[in-house]
Every structure is written in structure tokens, then in C-alpha cells.
Amino acid sequence: MLRWSFRSAGEAQTLDLGIQLGRLLKQSALILLQGELGAGKSVLARGIARGLGVDPRVPITSPTYTLMNHYPARLDLYHFDLYRLRDPDELLEIGFDDFAFGAGATLVEWPERLENDATPGLWVRIDNLKDDLRELTFLPRGEAAEELLLHLRRALSS
């Protein structure tokens, strides 16, 4: 199974990585962001939004209390934060699968709340190593996610 790690030396580098990833998104995608509070999930999400073309004047915030924020862009962006999810059935009520496997790009913070670690998509684990140093580990599940990761690695190495 393909796996790739990237070390980010700070928020600006994590943001740039997200921008690159957002620019590469040409079709629907599910990106699942794991990491402790303050690891940088929302920074990466902000970068992805900017790479998709979300207006820079629009604040990209974690939807902790609303479960989902929608941002119109080149591909509509649906940003979920499942930290406060009490019951996975709540996701059925808001039509999560329609967003996650629909026509836009979907970001999910705290995907472990889905109770399904085999969900197809690009899983990104962000670990806080020390100070501003982060390690982002990418684990694609499914062909589309593998292809996206290969394009990201290629874009960052050039």
C-alpha cells in the first residue's frame, strides 16, 4: 500500500502544501484529516480551500459546532468537523454520504468518529513533533486517492 510522509517546518509550509493539493483536485475527492487538537488540520484545510479557488477574503474555519461548512469554488468544498459528533447516525440526517461521495471536494476532520477506518479517500495524519514541526503522513485508500497522492508528490518534488 502506498504511503508518503512530509515534514512541515511551520504553518506557512502546511498552508502551501494544502494549496498545492487543492490545485490538483480536478474531480470529486474525499480527504480525511486526523490529528490532535492544534496539529494543523484546519491550516491544511484552509490551504486546500485556497487551492480550489475559495475567495481569500472568505475565512476558512473549522465547523466544530455546525458539523459542515460549504464553500463555493472551482469544485464546491464541503468541510466537516466531526469532533463534537455524538452519534454517527447524525451524519445520515444531514446527508453526509451525498457530500462525501458527491460532485465536490470533501474534507473531514476527526474521521475516526465515522467508525470506519476503511473509508475510501486520501487519509492524512498530522503529528505535532516539536515546536512548529509537523509530520503529515498520507495514506490513500482507493485508486483515485492513490493517483491524487502521486500527483501531489510529483508537484512538490518539482
According to DSSP, the residues that pair with 107 across neighbouring strands are: 31, 79
* CA pair distance 127, 121, nearest whole angstrom: 19
Class of domain 4-157: alpha beta
Sequence ranges of the domains in the chain: 4-157
For 37-81, write each residue's pLDDT tens digit: 889 999 999 999 999 999 999 999 887 777 889 999 999 999 999
pLDDT at 1 over 70: no
Q: What percent of the chain has pLDDT over 90?
A: 66
- The pTM assigned to this predicted structure is 0.92
Task: Answer whether 106's CB lies under 8 Å from 98's CB.
Answer: no
